[in-house]
Amino acid sequence: MAQSSGRLSPRQKMINLMYIVLTAMLALNVSSDVLDGFTQVEDGLSRTNATVAQRNDAILSRLQDFADTNPGKGTPWLVKAREVTEATGRINSLVDSFKLAIVRQADGEGAAIDNIENREDLEAASVVMLNPTSNQGRKLREEVDGYRTFIESMITDSTKRAAVAKALSTDKVYDRTSGVNRLWEEARFENQPVVAAITLLTKLQNDIRFAEGEALTTLLNNVDAGDVRVNELNAFVIPDSRIVMRGEKYRANIVLAAVDTTARPTISIGGRELPQSAAGVYEFVPQTTGSFDYSGTLDVTHGDGTVTSHPFSSSYVVMEPSATVSATMMNVLYAGINNPLSISVPGVPSGNVSATMSNGRLTRNGDTWTAVPDKAGKEAVINVAASLSGGTPQQVASMTFRVRRLPDPIAYIAIGDERYKGGRMLPKTQLMGAKGLGAAIDDGMLDIDFRVVSFETVFYDSMGNVIAELSDGADFSKRQLAQFRRLSRGKRFFISRIRTIGPDGAERTLPSALEVIVG
């Protein structure tokens, strides 16, 4: 008898149930195979780390032996090598502590890294490394950044330095699913099984050992790099400067490499012999501007009485007094704020240079200058004077700057070390953890913070009605935070009527609103 289309026979129900169980078991088996694969990779990386550590220890031992034999030559490089190994030990210990913390989060206090029970746990790594309170993932990223910079400073070969930079890169990772760049720590620890997180940390230790080895190898090779081997004699002209200001003195040293101070060579320039009392220093006062060349010979008497002659030539430029005035921030000055300036006169010590400014104040601190213009829309003129050879200061340059009002800042929500300026989804957890709003000009040319006075958040209810809430100064108000809690993924709101005060003391309302998309 045929069964009704709306009911299944007991046999068919049993078959369907067994199919479901079988599918689940198959999924579990695949998952187990993947976890086993991670375990095998972890074991292999651990063995590799031990091998690389032994190799690095051998390099350090060679440096130690050389320093024992030749302390003056080898000790400086040994000291640097120990700094490398100490830095490596510190960051490796930090990584080990994170590995143990993750395993204990998954298996409890009695957990062991080499015998993980809950290998498939997807929460432990996120809880330990991505907790917004402890920020352990960010801490690890910052430690890796510092270690990478330190190691790169020890490596002279650009190719090896680039390899270390790539191996220890903490750049953001593009997520194809969400279409956004994720933080280094999020890409490695969010929703990762415990065994995968441990394997990634062991891989990081492998990269650290690799970087340590490159640095130690470089230091070992540098032991003999400073030796100088001479196989010929050359004459050199070493001027104090190839550019001379009219009225100033030209001065140059003419020397021979590996010269014997007990038997100075004979120097002739333009057919005239330089006095022995000059000790190889050639100086005169040029009277006209332009480019000039000169040449001569340097005659050396050897122990057997023979004389060898070494020709030399050089050039110099005599120029009228001039000055360089450049704004280090931009090609304009901004009213009401400190504008760093660089003011110098070629060939004149900085202490002999002075400057004045119209439409503002010009102050000096050592070799740096700061201009504070008074009024925007009015030009500021900077006049530079220099004292040549200790004489009376004379004006050498004048430069005119346009004075502008500071541009409007861009508002942002501070999320840790990042500034959210809209245009992408903002996770709701990060939104709820944010304190309030900030504003700054940070376009790569200017880096100026503004103080936020107040702002409004604009929400839309299901009927399309506008709900506006006022902030508590620069912070989100309780009513605004309550509205945030009710927002679901994909919803958006706007922050408008943002009032700020800049370092120039002027209050302004930003013309554009910040759109926030809840992720």
Domain final position from 358, 377, 404? 404
| Domains identified in the chain, total number | 4
For residues 374 and 360, what is the distance between their CA atoms, to the nearest angstrom?
5
Other C-beta atoms lying within 10 Å of the C-beta of residue 325: 20
For residues 452 and 119, what is the distance between their CA atoms, to the nearest angstrom?
48
Mean pLDDT of the 283-309 span: 77
Is 242 a member of any domain? yes
The percent of residues in the chain predicted with pLDDT above 90, rounded, is: 33
| The token pair that represents 54 in the structure block | 């032994």
What pLDDT does 449 receive? Answer: 93
What pLDDT does 34 receive? Answer: 54
Q: Could you tell me what percentage of the chain is helix, strand and coil, using 3-state DSSP and rounding each to the nearest 5?
A: 35, 30, 30
For residues 458 and 439, what is the distance between their CA atoms, to the nearest angstrom?
18
Residues 118 and 78 occupy one common structural domain: yes
Is 163 a member of any domain? yes
Residues 354 and 438 occupy one common structural domain: no
User: Would you give the end-to-end CA distance of the chain in angstroms?
Assistant: 55
Residues 465 and 334 occupy one common structural domain: no
What pLDDT does 189 receive? Answer: 84
Strand partners, 253: 238, 281
Mean pLDDT of the 78-93 span: 91
Supply the pTM of this predicted model. 0.41
Residues 303 and 442 occupy one common structural domain: no
Element (H, E) at 314: strand 307-319
Residue 135 main-chain phi, psi, to 5 deg: 55, 45
Residue 241 has pLDDT above 50, yes or no: yes
Residues present in the chain in total: 519
Quick: pLDDT tens for 133-190.
888 889 989 999 999 999 999 998 889 999 999 989 989 888 777 778 889 888 888 8
Q: What is the DSSP string of 378-435?
A: S-EEEEEEE-GGG---EEEEEEEE-EEPPPP-EEEEEETTEEE-SSSEE-HHHHHH--
**Residues 192, 200: contact at Cβ < 8 Å?**
yes
Residues 81 and 212 occupy one common structural domain: yes
Domain final position from 319, 336, 370? 319
- Full residue range of the structural domain in which residue 358 is found: 324-404
What pLDDT does 32 receive? Answer: 59
Is 99 a member of any domain? yes
Is 480 a member of any domain? yes
Residues 353 and 302 occupy one common structural domain: no
CATH of the domain at 258: 2.60.40.10
Query: Residues 6 or more apart from 189 whose CB is under 8 A from it?
Result: 125, 126, 128, 129, 130, 137, 197, 200
What pLDDT does 1 receive? Answer: 40
Is 71 a member of any domain? yes
Mean pLDDT of the 285-312 span: 78
Residue 226 has pLDDT above 70, yes or no: no
Residues 309 and 353 occupy one common structural domain: no
What pLDDT does 175 receive? Answer: 79
3-class DSSP state of 114: coil
Q: What is the DSSP string of 256-310?
A: ETT--TTSPPEEEETTEEPPGGGTTEEEE---S-EEEEEEEEEEEE-TTS-EEEE
What is the gyration radius of the CA atoms in the chain, in angstroms?
36
Q: Which of 284-293, 325-334, 384-393, 447-456 has the highest mean pLDDT?
A: 447-456
Element (H, E) at 324: strand 324-327
Question: Where does the pLDDT of residue 381 fall: very low under 50, low under 70, confident under 90, or very high at 90 and above?
Answer: very high
For residues 198 and 119, what is the distance between their CA atoms, to the nearest angstrom?
10
When the pLDDT of each residue in the chain is averaged and rounded to a whole number, the result is: 82
Residues 309 and 339 occupy one common structural domain: no
The residue with tokens 């009513």 is 479
What pLDDT does 479 receive? Answer: 94
Is 23 a member of any domain? no
For residues 194 and 124, what is the distance between their CA atoms, to the nearest angstrom?
7
Residues 122 and 249 occupy one common structural domain: no
| The token pair that represents 75 in the structure block | 């000790």
Residue 223 has pLDDT above 70, yes or no: yes
Calculate the CA 261 to chain-centre distance.
47
In 3D space, the residue among 422, 431, 513 whose CA is nearest the CA of residue 468 turns out to be 513
Domain final position from 382, 404, 426? 404
Span of 174-188, 401-415, 453-467 with lowest mean pLDDT: 174-188
Is 19 a member of any domain? no
Span of 280-294, 312-326, 337-351, 464-478 with lowest mean pLDDT: 312-326
Residues 392 and 466 occupy one common structural domain: no
Residue 156 main-chain phi, psi, to 5 deg: -90, -30
Residues 108 and 250 occupy one common structural domain: no
For residues 99 and 87, what is the distance between their CA atoms, to the nearest angstrom?
19
Is 226 a member of any domain? no
CATH of the domain at 362: 2.60.40.3440
Residues 145 and 86 occupy one common structural domain: yes
